Structure 1
């Protein structure tokens, strides 16, 4: 069985279960598949999609690490005989410090936060390279990155992460090829962007260590290309990872490093994005004066930005996203003072949620869940329940581990109103969704 899992040979896994008396119906019920799917797999159909493999592992109670999907807590106990949870937390804090040191060294040209250590950076693939490359080869990388990023925006990182990593493996072999200086610089930019996407999709599927490794490499390539805006982009995205994991202090340091690069880039829109995220971090730290200061600066930079001259990566930041970020900062403050900040969060998120389409389903879920949570905090329970159900319905279509995490505050707020059957049902539905 361990050999079958290591090879991701799900057909053999199911055959082993059948030999030990587990029925097709039981397998289907455990893995969330239909009996016809189970039957096809038993006949030899391969399972390649990450999200399906992860669901099978979780449904059967198999540590994901046995299938090489992720290194999670269960795997740490069963496979590596790891130490206590406190040690794991200490290891994570060390990794955060190492990444910050690496980011500072790349951005500033010196390890200003301590000695450079980058054991978390993945080794480069040693594969044969073409003899010579031109701009067409680089454009292929850019086209693949754009197509895969569109999938990530629309359906979540779980739909495309493996494809991003596969494309990256191919693209990195071009580093060994002969090229003009102009082509090589464009190659560095393209590899930085693809590593950044690999980091983001890894984060979106709950793979923190691979995300950190890809962002570290993205930072190096962006610096080699002397692209300050792209450096700012990578630091902004890694900062968002730490915000998600409730580490606003670390996130703020990365945003501030990114702000240096953003200023050097001369792009007002890039500066606006970093300011907006700093505001969110300050909100999580319950510093309303700093939030207002950064929100004001975000608005000023946004007002003077020329989208047509902005780098490609930052053009997503429209007026709609501006309202969403201001809503996020006030949502963070509403945790500490709901009476004052929840109504502001509602007003801002309504403005952004009205404009989201099917091409931004994951972001739409985030915005709707935030809006619903603050409706409830502000005393409008029924509207919060209504919006929350919409968020949950869209969330079920998105392959993103972050969706479940971002719905958690709504589950808790709805759960505070146990006497209301609709609120109780919504809280329970979100709980079941998060456990799948």
Structure 2
């Protein structure tokens, strides 16, 4: 029988409550969902009309093509009238954002320095297995909301989380956290329900890894959109799951990312403490690329503290560890650190030192960032605009005005395509350097353009 009503009305509700259909929905097996609809007499054309897909897409899904993107799953659920909870889609993006904001509202008045101290205490306790800096109540951790869970999960369920995280991380690299944060939070609301499911020990351990990685991405995209408190909450949960999974490399990755948050907010001392904690875990992981990432970020923090000898030491160690590493064997969360990023991080450390001694360190920062900026492609646009801005700033410090203007304008062009609150913040040194040279009319024009960009 045909169960799609006239006028494009949804499938009748009772269809979704059959045992086989509920199982398929819980697995998000859209191929099986569509096959069952066909057995009920629903045509491919009717499915396509209800879901906003083409008939060729529906045909491919019926043949076994997986559907993993959150927005597509949500559109299918809404178009066919599937209760979102049956597919673990209890939140849409807007709801997830409201929940995240609501969870952090009680902390709004808490002093930022207290929050930093609490997070460092929590990080030390989780990493070292003891409350090294004294146990404190982690009020920055947001409450979690429960959604219906499958009764039992296997490795394929976990692999779905890992695949979704990878796809969303690629979006973050390419276009910035503003393009995908809500989707990450929404996926996370579904993924965490699997903690209540029955699973074999190897599956559960891998689930901890997947949840840690997704929380880490949620923290990073929150940071990228200027949401500091949600970022800290997600990083805290990521750290706990990574430790439960006994994955030292992932522990190191989470600590590195939270350290980067504090570097961005000009708190190099707190950042350095997190990098040093991360270095302990990195050494335990035995992965030289993970060690290299932590060393490179320590060098940057030392640069902000105007400690050139320590910068030189950590840069040397970064190069040594990177030379020993094999990117192809590295886990996904650290694989981004290629030779481009190596040069970019060395350039960042010297850029920080150039604030104190531009004559000595600005030329080195220029030379290193040129190497990475020539190689970045469309898949790393946010990192590219950061590198271009840094290169342009140091060209101006070196007195290479015209090249500085040219590179700066390229940074603004790329920056227009990136949804990241950090872009405006990272352009601040360029604005300051251009403002100091406004006697030159071309630099003055650049200063006004950068200023307008940042205000916008």
Q: Same fold (TM over 0.5)?
A: yes
Question: For the superposition of Structure 1 and Structure 2, which TM-score range results when normalised by the shorter chain?
Answer: 0.7 to 0.9
Aligned position for 2:355: 335
1:270-318 per-residue CA deviation (whole Å, 9 max, x = no partner) reads 0000000000000000000000000011011111112233222111111
Equivalent residues of 1:95, 1:120 under 8 A apart: yes
SS at match of 2:198: coil
Quick one: distance in 2 between partners of 1:303 and 1:359? 24
SS at match of 1:118: coil
Quick one: distance in 1 between partners of 2:146 and 2:380? 37
Aligned position for 2:411: 391
Quick one: distance in 1 between partners of 2:338 and 2:318? 12
**Which of the residues 418, 422, 428 maps onto 2:438?**
418
For residues 69 and 256 of structure 1, do their structure 2 counterparts lie closer, same or farther at Cα, with a shift above 3 Å needed?
closer
Quick one: distance in 2 between partners of 1:375 and 1:70? 41
Quick one: distance in 2 between partners of 1:188 and 1:115? 24
Quick one: distance in 1 between partners of 2:213 and 2:428? 31
Structure 1 position 157 matched with structure 2 position 173: no
Listed as ranges, the matches of 1:83-122 within 5 Å are: 91-122=111-142
SS at match of 1:214: helix
Quick one: distance in 1 between partners of 2:339 and 2:384? 15
Equivalent residues of 2:100, 2:142 under 8 A apart: no
Quick one: distance in 1 between partners of 2:372 and 2:152? 47
Structure 1 position 287 matched with structure 2 position 307: yes
Structure 1 position 403 matched with structure 2 position 420: no
Equivalent residues of 1:101, 1:117 under 8 A apart: no
Equivalent residues of 1:192, 1:222 under 8 A apart: yes
Structure 1 position 435 matched with structure 2 position 435: no
Quick one: distance in 1 between partners of 2:165 and 2:330? 19
1:118-141 per-residue CA deviation (whole Å, 9 max, x = no partner) reads 111112222221100001111110
> Residue 70 of structure 1: CA displacement?
5.7
Structure 1 position 354 matched with structure 2 position 366: no
> Residue 68 of structure 1: CA displacement?
7.8
For residues 339 and 49 of structure 1, do their structure 2 counterparts lie closer, same or farther at Cα, with a shift above 3 Å needed?
farther
**Which of the residues 167, 178, 196 maps onto 2:198?**
178
Aligned position for 2:207: 187
1:51-98 per-residue CA deviation (whole Å, 9 max, x = no partner) reads xx9xxxxxxxxxxx9x78869xxxx9xxx9x8xxxxx6x710000000
Which stretch of the first structure deviates more once superposed, 413-422 or 380-389?
Answer: 413-422
Structure 1 position 211 matched with structure 2 position 231: yes
Equivalent residues of 2:396, 2:433 under 8 A apart: yes
Equivalent residues of 2:93, 2:183 under 8 A apart: no
For residues 223 and 49 of structure 1, do their structure 2 counterparts lie closer, same or farther at Cα, with a shift above 3 Å needed?
closer
For residues 115 and 398 of structure 1, do their structure 2 counterparts lie closer, same or farther at Cα, with a shift above 3 Å needed?
same
Quick one: distance in 2 between partners of 1:284 and 1:263? 24
Quick one: distance in 1 between partners of 2:119 and 2:208? 20
Quick one: distance in 2 between partners of 1:121 and 1:165? 15
Structure 2: segments with no counterpart, 5+ residues: 1-91
> Residue 320 of structure 1: CA displacement?
1.0
Quick one: distance in 2 between partners of 1:149 and 1:69? 19
For residues 49 and 361 of structure 1, do their structure 2 counterparts lie closer, same or farther at Cα, with a shift above 3 Å needed?
farther
Alpha-carbon RMSD across the aligned residues, in angstroms, is 2.0
1:377-429 per-residue CA deviation (whole Å, 9 max, x = no partner) reads 01101110110000011101100000000011001101111111111111111
Aligned position for 1:131: 151
Equivalent residues of 1:159, 1:399 under 8 A apart: yes
Work out the number of aligned pairs and report it.
362
Larger radius of gyration: 2
Quick one: distance in 2 between partners of 1:221 and 1:69? 19
> Residue 49 of structure 1: CA displacement?
7.7
For residues 125 and 68 of structure 1, do their structure 2 counterparts lie closer, same or farther at Cα, with a shift above 3 Å needed?
closer
TM-score calculated relative to the size of structure 1: 0.80
Equivalent residues of 1:368, 1:388 under 8 A apart: yes
SS at match of 1:279: helix
Equivalent residues of 2:306, 2:356 under 8 A apart: yes
Equivalent residues of 1:259, 1:271 under 8 A apart: yes
SS at match of 2:141: coil
TM-score calculated relative to the size of structure 2: 0.77
Structure 1 position 306 matched with structure 2 position 329: no
Aligned position for 2:391: 371
Equivalent residues of 2:118, 2:136 under 8 A apart: yes
SS at match of 1:130: coil
Equivalent residues of 1:370, 1:410 under 8 A apart: yes
Listed as ranges, the matches of 1:234-249 within 5 Å are: 234-249=254-269
